[in-house]
Amino acid sequence: MTDTPELATPQDAPHGYITDKARYLARLKRIEGQVRGLHRMVDEEQYCIDILTQVSALTSALQGVALGLLDDHLKHCVVDAAKTDGADADIKIKEASDAIARLVRS
């Protein structure tokens, strides 16, 4: 159970990342390939430091996706909510703050 309030945004409302969807999907496909490569490295018992280097690259790639999504959320979802309804804006800001806290902890 989470303490995040339910979203007031309709399901059919476009998300902020939608204009960059193809770019996000391409980045995620590359990340998927990196994960398969990492799996192969462990399976082939490659050198620890080489595997850790790839883990670091994978972590950076995922953080890049996360920061891009966060930026899109702030620019679109939060701004749109602030223009229409103060209560919804508070929810969107709380969501963004919670997401930032999760990113900082990881």
Share of the chain above pLDDT 70, in %: 86
- Provide the whole-model pTM: 0.75
Q: Which residues of the chain have pLDDT under 70?
A: 1-14, 16
HSE (side-chain half, CA atoms, 13 Å) at 31 = 16
- Position 1 scores a pLDDT of 42
Q: Choose among 102, 101, 98, 105: nearest CA to 7.
A: 98
Q: Which domains does the chain have, with CATH numbers?
A: 21-105 (1.20.58.1000)
43 CB contacts (<8 Å, ≥6 apart)?
none
Residue 16: name the closest of 103, 90, 81 by CA. 81
* pLDDT digit string, tens, across residues 71-86: 998 888 888 888 887 7
